[in-house]
Structures are given as C-alpha cells and as structure tokens.
Chains A and B, each alone.
Chain A
Amino acid sequence: MSGRKRTLEAISFELVMTVIAVIALAIIIAPSLVVLIVSFTSGFSLRFPPPGYSLRWYAELWNAWQLHFAAKNSLIVAVWATSLSVVLGVAAALAISRSRTLSARLLDSLFMSPLVLPALAFGLAALMLFSLVGLPVSPLTLVIGHTVVCVPYVVRNTVAALAQLEPTLLESSAVLGASRLYTFRRIVLPLIRPGIIAGAFIAFMSSFDNVPVSLFLRDAATDMLPIRMWQDLEGKLDVTIAALSGVLIIATVALVAVMERITGLSRRLTN
C-alpha cells in the first residue's frame, strides 16, 4: 500500500469500484426493507411510502388459517427432511471426505448434482415415479423429494469441516488406545459439529422455502407455505402477504444471527 501513488487514475478506480459496490449492497438489502415498511401500512394497498402505519395486517395474519395450515405443513416437512438429510448426509460425508478413490469422487458429484440440475424437472420426475409405483402424494413423498434437494448442503458443509480436521488427532487417539467409535464421539463429532449445524440450517431453510419440488409432490391436504403465498400473489396483491413476509424476514435475520454465533456461518461460506 505504501508505495502506491495517489494519482487521479487510482482515485478514479477506487471511486468507481466503491460506488458500484455500495449501490449493489443497497440493491441487495432494499427489497427486504421495503417489504418490512409496507407491511406496517394502515392502508389497503402496497403503496410506498404507506399513507400511515398500523399493525392491522399483522392482526389479520393471526386469523389467516390457510396460511397457518400451510406454515405448519412446511415446518413439519422441513424438520423431517433436515433430520433425514443430516443422518444420511453426515454418514456419506465421513465416507467420501478423506477418500481419493474414483468412486468417492463420483459419489461426491452425484450427491452435489441436485444443486445445479433444474429442481422442477426433478419434481416432475419424482411425481411420475411415485405415481408409477402407486405411492400417492403425501407428506412422505414431500419429505423424500425435499431430502434429495437438501442433502447436498449437509454433505458439502460436513466434508468442509472434516477437511479442516487434523489427521494426527485421530492417530493420537488411536495410539492411546481409544476405539474408533470413542474417537468419533469424543474428538471428531465435537470438532465437526458446527459444520454439521451450518449445513443442517441451510438445508432446513431451503426445504422450508422449496417450491419446484413441492409444486408436484403436494396436494390440497398438504399445502405448503411458499406455494400458498405464490398462489395468493398470482391472484391479488394481498397486504396480509406483506405482513407474513415481515414475519419471515425477521425470523430469518434472528436465525442467521444465532447461527453466526454458533457456527460462524459467514466464514464458513467464504472459505
């Protein structure tokens, strides 16, 4: 830094980059702030700025039983899909993380592929298969479908945590006479736990927010929250949805803050 001359040219570069960065950060954060503000409107429309402020739409939300029902279904499916993802994903991550074999690398690509493939195509494919074998759409089919698209997050974060683990720790533990299971419980698991929690958190959020898979694998009896919201928005621009969005934004901010403390989420996603 010290050798750099503060020329006009250098200043122009820094100015342009900083201005674009600040504008970009504003574009990222603005929509959430706008929704939060609009959700406190006292009027009937989504006009910005609102004519006045009130909590009426949050009160309205209290009575919106269709949204409650959909939210409950989404929560149940997300909890099951996350649990299944953690059990299957952590075991698989242990197997493939330190292996350099071709089969380990192929399995890794297979487990990651739901992240890039269009989930809507997978949703349709899963519906076709389930109807072929005579399995009707139900919470079970939803949990299976969600697990496929959520497990990559658990595998990826657990593999990353295992890669940071010092192999000498495991060797020392073995030399000192600890069994593999004991070493796993007392050394490996505590060290990779933040990675597993971070993966499980992202898996949970993406299941709770999933549309493409739920679209094909749910029915009226298993309405899911993002789809209920989407269909409400297709019909009319309801201010109740703004209040619900406000609740979801605040819940997300709170959860991210908790996760940042427990797992150091921000460092994990940039390493």
Chain B
Amino acid sequence: MGAAPASRDVTSYGMGLAAPLALFFLLFFVAPLLQLLWLSLHNDTAGLHWGLGQYLHFLTDPFSLGVLGSTLLLGAEVTAVCLVLGFPIAWLYQRVGPKLQTIIILIVLLPLLTSVVVRTFAWIVILGRQGIINATLQSLGVIDTPLKLLYTQFGVVIALAQVQMPLMTLPLITALGRIDPNLDDASCSLGAGSWRTFFRIVLPLSLPGVIAGCTLTYAAAITAFITQSLVGGGQMLFMPMYLYQQASTLQNWPFAAAISIIFLLAVLAVVSVFTTLGRMSRGYGGA
C-alpha cells in the first residue's frame, strides 16, 4: 500500500491552493529578478550587446569594491553589537515572571513595528550636534565642542543595532526557552561556575537561535537603506544607496542591475554560510 493521495486525506489540502500565489510570484518576483539578471549581462544601456562588462567594471573598480567591502563589514559590526546586547535580554527573559516577560517582549517588539524612518529620525535627534549625548557631555563639562557622532561609522552601527535588535532577540528568546533548565543546574552542581556553565552549556545549546538571529540581523542591516543614508550622510556610501544612485540619478540600469546581482549573491552567500552552520549546530544542540 502506498501513501494515500493528498486529496483523500481530510487533514490536508491540495497543492492547487498554492497555485495562485505561486503564479503571482512567478510573474512578479521570479520574472523581474530574471530580467534583472538578463540586463546585467549586457554592456550597453539599451541591452543589445551581451557581455560581462558590468561585472568586470564592478570587480576591477576599487571604489565599487570598497563600497561592497564596507557594506559587508557594517553588517558584521551591527550583528556583533546586536548579539552582545541581545543575548542578555533573552537570558533575563528566562529569569523573570510572566508579567515582566510580556513587558520585555513588547519592548523588544515595539521598534520592529514602529516606522523605520521614525526610529532613524530619533537617532538623528540623539546623535546630532545639539543632541542628548553632546548636550549632556557639554553640561557636565567633559567636552567643550560638540563631538561628531552623526555621519560616522559609530553612529550608523549603533543606530542600525537598535533598529535591528528585535530580529536578533526574538530567535534567541525562543532558543533559550528550549534548553532544559536542569542542564544548567546539573552543570553548576557538578562544580562548574556560572560563567563556565554559560560558555560551555547555554551558549552552545542556543546556537540555532544565535545563527537564526545573526542571519536575519545581518541581512536586514546591510540592506537598511534609510538608516544607512540618514545617519551615515553623504560621505558614507553603502551598497543600497550605490545601487539607487546608479539606477535613479544616473539611469545606468545595466550597471545598477549588476550591482543588484552582486549584492544579491553576497547576501545569499552569507545566508547559506549561516544556514550550513545552523544545520551543523542543530546536530550538536539536539543531542
């Protein structure tokens, strides 16, 4: 006896129900991306001459490579900050009562649902020349002239970290919730200290959550156009703005298409590295 066909089984629905969305994605998601790929493989704006000219241009141009490099580095920095700040939140969440748990979740959740322009705007108010940090430091007499915080790498990293923090914290809370609390106690009663237990037991067991959080945070941080451009200002150029300038201001569509494809591949590469690590860590954590 083979498996009963899906349509007979009362607990499942036919795959036909997925057809409308599949068709929609084929027309409006897959087709545009293929068209993007097609155009990026042309040397002229009209799309008449095939060639790898756009990619050669990008890959031999120190300026373009610099933009790609600084974007990937930015993602790594933001992800690291989010992990260091987000993990203790997830840890604290497991230690408090249900009421405080809801409050913590809502605090974490709120920025995720607040407009990203509003969140970025807030950082302009905080980091600006007349902002809170400068005003406080000046009134305390620590500094005489305002520090330059806005339009710096530090400013972009801290603002992006706040904007993307929920994407890191939510998977971590889920992962820590799945760890058997007895393991923690066992480790401690066997004589391992709290720090050792944390680094040898809790952290390794939460790796699936860490990796899920890092993937989401990294992907979101490097594509966060608004925060990058408003807090970074004109002097700092990252891939999304570079793409937008080439496409909109310069109308250089084939090059913009090539930038998009290179950017897409970079994101996919990072995501697949994380996914592979995640699969390895699940084998480890599931034991």
A interface with B by C-beta (< 8 Å):
1, 3-5, 7, 9-10, 12-14, 17-18, 20-25, 27-32, 34-35, 38, 45-49, 87-89, 91-92, 94-99, 101, 103-104, 107, 110-111, 113-114, 116-122, 124-126, 128-129, 132, 144-145, 147-148, 151, 155, 167, 170-171, 173-174, 180, 183, 202, 205, 208-209, 211-212, 215-216, 226, 229-230, 233-234, 237, 241-242, 245, 248-249, 252-253, 255-256, 260, 265-266, 269-271
Residue of B nearest to A37 (CB): B125
Given A20-B84, A116-B219, A229-B117, check contact A14 B194 (CB 8 Å).
Answer: yes
Contacts of B102 in A (CB 8 A): 260, 266
Inter-chain contact B10/A183, CB cutoff 8 Å: yes
Which of B29, B91, B109, B123 has the most CB atoms of chain A within a 10 A radius of its CB? B29
A90 to B31, CA, bound (A): 23
A91 to B6, CA, bound (A): 16
Given A27-B85, A98-B11, A121-B264, check contact A252 B110 (CB 8 Å).
Answer: yes
A268 to B123, CA, bound (A): 29
Inter-chain contact B177/A91, CB cutoff 8 Å: no
Inter-chain contact A128/B257, CB cutoff 8 Å: yes
B157 an interface residue at 8 Å Cβ cutoff?
no
A93 to B106, CA, bound (A): 27
Interface 9-residue window, one of B49-57, B127-135, B279-287: B127-135
> Can you report 10 A-B residue pairs in the complex whose CB atoms are below 8 A from each other?
A20-B88, A28-B110, A29-B110, A48-B132, A48-B135, A111-B21, A118-B267, A121-B264, A129-B28, A253-B110
B215 an interface residue at 8 Å Cβ cutoff?
yes
Interface residues on B, range: 35 or more
A180 to B10, CA, bound (A): 7
Contact partner, A242, options B11, B14, B121, Cβ 8 Å:
B121
A265 to B222, CA, bound (A): 27
Inter-chain contact B91/A21, CB cutoff 8 Å: yes
B174 an interface residue at 8 Å Cβ cutoff?
yes
Expressed in whole angstroms, the minimum distance between the Cβ of B218 and any Cβ of chain A is 9
A147 to B225, CA, bound (A): 20
Given A118-B263, A125-B260, A269-B170, check contact A256 B110 (CB 8 Å).
Answer: yes
Given A4-B189, A124-B247, check contact A245 B121 (CB 8 Å).
Answer: yes
Expressed in whole angstroms, the minimum distance between the Cβ of A26 and any Cβ of chain B is 9
Inter-chain contact B117/A17, CB cutoff 8 Å: no
Inter-chain contact B11/A13, CB cutoff 8 Å: no
Inter-chain contact B188/A4, CB cutoff 8 Å: yes
A14 to B272, CA, bound (A): 35
- Interface residue ranges of B26-80 to A (CB < 8 Å): 28-33, 35-36, 39
